[in-house]
Chain A
Amino acid sequence: MPKLNSAAELEKYRAEILAKRDPAKPCIAVCAGAACDGMDSAAVAAAFVAEVAKSAGKLGDKIEIRTTGCHGYCEKGPNVVAGPNDVCYFEVQPTDVPEIIAATLKGEVVERLVYKDPNTGAKAVHMSEVPFYKHQTRLLIGDNPKIDPMKIDDYFAVGGYAALVKALTTMTPDQVLDEVKKANLRGRGGGGFPAGSKWETTKNAPEKTKYVIVNGHEGESAAFMDRAMLTGNPHKILEGLIIGAYAIGAQKGFMYTRHDMPLLEKHVRQALAQAKEYGLLGQNILGSGFDFECELHFDVGIFVSGESSALMRSIEGNAPEPRPKYIRTSVNGIWDKPSNLNNVETWANVPQIINKGADWFTSIGSEKSKGTKLISLSGNVVNSGIVEVPMGTPLRTLVFDIGGGVRDGKTLKAIHFGGAMGGSIPADLIDAPLDFDGMSKLGAPIGAGGLLLMDEDTDMIEVARYLMDFLVNESCGKCVPCREGMQQMLQILTRLTEGEGKKGDLELLEDLIEVTGVASLCALGKTSGDPLKSMFRYFKPEYESRIANTAAGSEAK
C-alpha cells in the first residue's frame, strides 16, 4: 500500500475499502481478549478458519471470520458474535463451529448457545438484548468486535482516522486544544485531572522539544480495561495521541505499556508499523506539514513504574523511581523536556471529541464528569468483564443490571474501587453515582476503574492485608514512609488476620496512615493507606471486635 499523502487520498482509500465490503455479508467475530484467550478462544477461531477452508472456497465468499479484541463479557467466554445482526454466542467450543456457520449462513440462530437468564430462563439473542450489553453505552469498546487489531483497514472501515483528518485539515492546534478543554475530558488514569489543562501546560512550556506519552502500564489490581482497549483497538489510541501531539506541538510520542502481554505487543507493533507505512506517522502527515513519530516502550514490571515521573525515568533508561521534583512533568519530564502523559482511555476519547464535538461529549455523563467510563468488573460478581457506562450511572446499574448481582446468591457486603490505592464502601451506598468527585468523597475513588465486588463472607481485614501486601511488593523503596510505613502496616494487619491483634494496634495504624499519606514521595505511598482509611470509616467495628476478641482471649490465657 502506498503512503497516503493527503486527507483526500485517505478518504478515497476508505471509500475503496467500504466499496469492497458488503455490510450484509455474514461475519463471525471471535474474541481473542485476555479472558477468552485463556479459555482457548484460539482453538475456536482456528476451527472457524478450518471449517471455511474445508469448503474449498465455497464458503470463503459467503462468510468472513475475524479474530478481534475483547468484547467485554469475559465471564461467558469464549465469545463469538455473528454478523450482520450481532447474534451473541457464549462459551463457544470448537465443536459448535459447524452449527454456527450453518445457522449464520441461513440467517438462523443456534438457540442453545445464546444468552439465557439464570433466573427466568428467558433468552436474549442479539447484542442489544443481552442484559450485560443492554445497559451499557459502548462508545470506546463498542468497535472491538468489528475490528481485527492487526488490520488498519478494519479501523478505516469504522471511520478511523477521520478525526485526525479533521484536526489536521480544518483545525488549528489551538482549536483542537480548545475543543478538548471545552469537552472537559478528565484523565482516566486515576486522578481525574482535566486533560485539556494538562495539554495546555505542556503546550505553553518554553522548551521546543515536547513529548506525549500513552500510559498503558495499568498496574492497578483488578483493572484490565486499558489492555483490552490497547490490544483490541490500538489505532484508536494512536489516533488520539497524534491529535494530542498536534495540539500540543510535540514531535515525538511514547507508548508505555505492559511487557508481559505478547498479544498486546504484537498488535501495538503492527499498528505502529502500519500507521507509519500509510503515512499517519512520520514526516508531513497527510500533507499537513506536521511531523510525528511514536516509539513503543515497555514497563519494568513493578507497579510504581506507572507513576508519571517514574515512568519517565524508565523511558530515559533509568531505574523507575519517582523523582522528587516540585515541577510538574508536563513542564519538566523526559530528559527534562515538557512531557504530557495521559492514560490509554483518555487518549481513546480524543478522536470522538474531535469528530462529534465537545457539545456532544458534554451531553454524556454527570455534571462534573463527562463522557463514558470503562470499568473492569470482578470479584464476587455474576458477570465479570469490561463494561462501559456514562459517568453518573448509579453503581446499582453496574452491579446488578450489568453485573448480574452477587455470585452464588449471596449478599453484597462492599464495593471496592481503585485497587490497592482505592477504597471500599458498604453495600448501602449502592445508589451512589459513578463520578470522580462523588466517589472520592465517599472514600472509594474510581481510580483507573477497577470495581471489585465483595460478598457477605469477605473478611475486610484480610482485604486490607492483601492490598497492602501488593503495595509493599510494588513500592520502589526509595522513600522511608512508603518503604517502612507500609511494611509496618502490613505486619500489623498480618497479625490481626492471624488473630494476634493487640490493644493500640488501630491507633498505631492510624498514625502510620497519616504519616505515610503526607510524607511519601509519590502517589503510591501517599494513597497506600486509603483502603484502610475507608475501612476505618465504614467497617471499623469489624476491626475493633477482632482485636477485642483476641485481647480477651490472650488475657484469659
Chain B
Amino acid sequence: MSDIVLTIDGKEVKAKAGMTVLQAAKQEGIHIPTLCHHEKLEAFGGCRLCMVEVEARGWTSYVVSCVYPVAKDIVVRTRSEKVDKIRKVLVEELMAHAPDAPELIKLAEEYGADRNRFERDASFCIVCGLCVRYCNEVKQKNAVGFIDNGARREISFIPEVAKKECWDCQECFTICPTSYAQAAYLLTEALAFPGQRKKIKAEKPLQPRSRVIPIMPAPVTT
C-alpha cells in the first residue's frame, strides 16, 4: 500500500494507511503525551492528553491522536496555545486525584499546570483504565473492572477472580501511572483472601515467576 503524506509540526511525514496520527508521530520521533495509551491495547481515547490540532480541508479541529487516522495532506500541530491549554487543564484536573503521580508531575512542569488549582479529592486513581483493559485484552482474565459511572467511576478487583489469577501476574502494577492498581489489589487481598501470597510463597519457594518483563518502565520520581 502506498504511503500517505501528511505534515506534523511542519515536517512532511510518510505513514501507512490505517495508522493513527500518534503512531505516525512516534515513528518520526515526535513526542505526544499520553496517559491511557498502551501499544498492546486497543486505543481507548479516554485521557484526551494526546489531543492535537488538525487542519483538513481548511477546517481546524481538535482530535485525539491515538484514534485519529492519518489522511492525505492533513496538517497536524502537536503543540499550540489551545492544545497546551487543554493539556494543562486536564493535568490539573487529574492532579486533584493524584497530586504526586510522577508522570503527572512531569506533565505539570511541561505544561505549567498548577497541582492545587482544583479542589483535592485524593482518590489516587486517574481512571485511565490501563489495568482494566490490560487484564481484559492481554491477559483475558478480567480480574479488575470498572464500577459505577461518571465522577463515581473507579476500578475494582473482583475478589473471586483476583484470588485465582493475580498472585502470579500483577503486571498491571507496573503499567499503572499512580500505583493505585497495586493498592487496590492489596486491599482486596487483605479483605477477601488475606495472606494468600505469603502462603503460596511458603509452599512454592523455588518456583520461578512466569512474569513478563514490564512493558513500560516504572515512572521515576524527579
Q: Decide whether A and B assemble into one complex.
A: yes
The smallest beta-carbon distance between A512 and chain B, in angstroms, is 7
With contact pairs A326-B69, A491-B119 given, residues A485 and B93 touching in the complex (Cβ less than 8 Å): yes
Complex interface: chain B residues within 8 A of A477 (CB): 127, 146, 148-153
Evaluate contact between A519 and B44: CB separation under 8 angstroms: no
Q: Does A293 contact B (CB under 8 A)?
A: no
Complex interface: chain B residues within 8 A of A330 (CB): none
CB nearest to B90 among chain A residues: A480
Q: Does B193 contact A (CB under 8 A)?
A: no
Instruction: Give A475 to B46 CA distance when docked, in angstroms.
Output: 13
CB nearest to A302 among chain B residues: B149
Instruction: Give A477 to B68 CA distance when docked, in angstroms.
Output: 21
Instruction: Give A477 to B149 CA distance when docked, in angstroms.
Output: 5
Among A302, A325, A519, contact of B90 (Cβ-Cβ < 8 Å): A519
The proximity string for A residues 140-174 relative to B, scoring 1 for CB distances below 8 Å and 0 otherwise, is: 00000000000000000000000000000000000
The smallest beta-carbon distance between B83 and chain A, in angstroms, is 9
Instruction: Give A478 to B149 CA distance when docked, in angstroms.
Output: 8
Q: Does B13 contact A (CB under 8 A)?
A: no
CB nearest to A473 among chain B residues: B150
Q: Does B64 contact A (CB under 8 A)?
A: yes
The smallest beta-carbon distance between A305 and chain B, in angstroms, is 10
With contact pairs A326-B67, A483-B127, A484-B93 given, residues A476 and B150 touching in the complex (Cβ less than 8 Å): yes
CB nearest to A484 among chain B residues: B93
The smallest beta-carbon distance between B47 and chain A, in angstroms, is 5
Instruction: Give A324 to B129 CA distance when docked, in angstroms.
Output: 15
The proximity string for A residues 278-311 relative to B, scoring 1 for CB distances below 8 Å and 0 otherwise, is: 0000000000000000000000001010000000
Evaluate contact between A475 and B51: CB separation under 8 angstroms: no
Complex interface: chain A residues within 8 A of B115 (CB): none
Evaluate contact between A479 and B48: CB separation under 8 angstroms: yes
Q: Does A514 contact B (CB under 8 A)?
A: yes
Complex interface: chain B residues within 8 A of A319 (CB): 146
Complex interface: chain A residues within 8 A of B126 (CB): 480
Q: Does B96 contact A (CB under 8 A)?
A: yes
Evaluate contact between A324 and B151: CB separation under 8 angstroms: no
The smallest beta-carbon distance between B139 and chain A, in angstroms, is 19
Complex interface: chain A residues within 8 A of B82 (CB): 518
The smallest beta-carbon distance between B175 and chain A, in angstroms, is 18
Q: Does A377 contact B (CB under 8 A)?
A: no
Evaluate contact between A515 and B68: CB separation under 8 angstroms: no
The proximity string for B residues 66-86 relative to A, scoring 1 for CB distances below 8 Å and 0 otherwise, is: 111100000000000010011
Evaluate contact between B150 and A480: CB separation under 8 angstroms: no
Question: Chain A: interface secondary structure?
Answer: helix
Complex interface: chain B residues within 8 A of A479 (CB): 45-48
Evaluate contact between A478 and B51: CB separation under 8 angstroms: no
Complex interface: chain B residues within 8 A of A483 (CB): 127, 150-151, 153
Chain A interface size band reads 20 to 34
Evaluate contact between B93 and A324: CB separation under 8 angstroms: no
Instruction: Give A473 to B149 CA distance when docked, in angstroms.
Output: 7
With contact pairs A484-B96, A519-B62 given, residues A474 and B150 touching in the complex (Cβ less than 8 Å): yes
Complex interface: chain A residues within 8 A of B62 (CB): 518-519
Evaluate contact between B63 and A480: CB separation under 8 angstroms: no
With contact pairs A485-B93, A519-B51, A519-B62 given, residues A476 and B85 touching in the complex (Cβ less than 8 Å): no
CB nearest to B126 among chain A residues: A480
The proximity string for A residues 505-544 relative to B, scoring 1 for CB distances below 8 Å and 0 otherwise, is: 0001001101100111100000000000000000000000
Q: Does A338 contact B (CB under 8 A)?
A: no
The smallest beta-carbon distance between B54 and chain A, in angstroms, is 10
Q: Does B43 contact A (CB under 8 A)?
A: yes
Q: Does B94 contact A (CB under 8 A)?
A: yes
Complex interface: chain A residues within 8 A of B51 (CB): 518-519
Instruction: Give A508 to B93 CA distance when docked, in angstroms.
Output: 12
Q: Does B89 contact A (CB under 8 A)?
A: yes
Instruction: Give A522 to B103 CA distance when docked, in angstroms.
Output: 26
Q: Does A488 contact B (CB under 8 A)?
A: yes
Among B85, B118, B127, B149, contact of A488 (Cβ-Cβ < 8 Å): B118
CB nearest to B69 among chain A residues: A326
Complex interface: chain B residues within 8 A of A520 (CB): 48
The smallest beta-carbon distance between B202 and chain A, in angstroms, is 40
Instruction: Give A487 to B150 CA distance when docked, in angstroms.
Output: 9
With contact pairs A326-B63, A478-B46, A481-B93 given, residues A514 and B85 touching in the complex (Cβ less than 8 Å): yes
With contact pairs A481-B48, A491-B119, A521-B45 given, residues A475 and B86 touching in the complex (Cβ less than 8 Å): no
Q: Does A486 contact B (CB under 8 A)?
A: yes
Q: Closest 4 A-B residue pairs measured CB to CB?
A: A324-B45, A477-B153, A484-B93, A475-B150
| A residues neighboring B (CB under 8 Å) | 302, 304, 319, 324-326, 472-481, 483-488, 491, 508, 511-512, 514-515, 518-521
Additional pairs, 15, CB under 8 Å, beyond known A324-B45, A326-B68, A521-B46: A324-B43, A324-B44, A475-B150, A477-B149, A477-B151, A478-B44, A478-B129, A480-B47, A481-B48, A481-B86, A481-B93, A484-B90, A484-B96, A491-B119, A515-B89
Enumerate 22 A-B pairs (CB-CB under 8 Å) in ascending A order. A319-B146, A324-B43, A326-B67, A472-B150, A475-B151, A477-B151, A478-B129, A481-B48, A481-B86, A481-B93, A483-B150, A486-B150, A486-B151, A488-B93, A488-B118, A488-B119, A508-B117, A514-B85, A515-B85, A515-B89, A520-B48, A521-B46
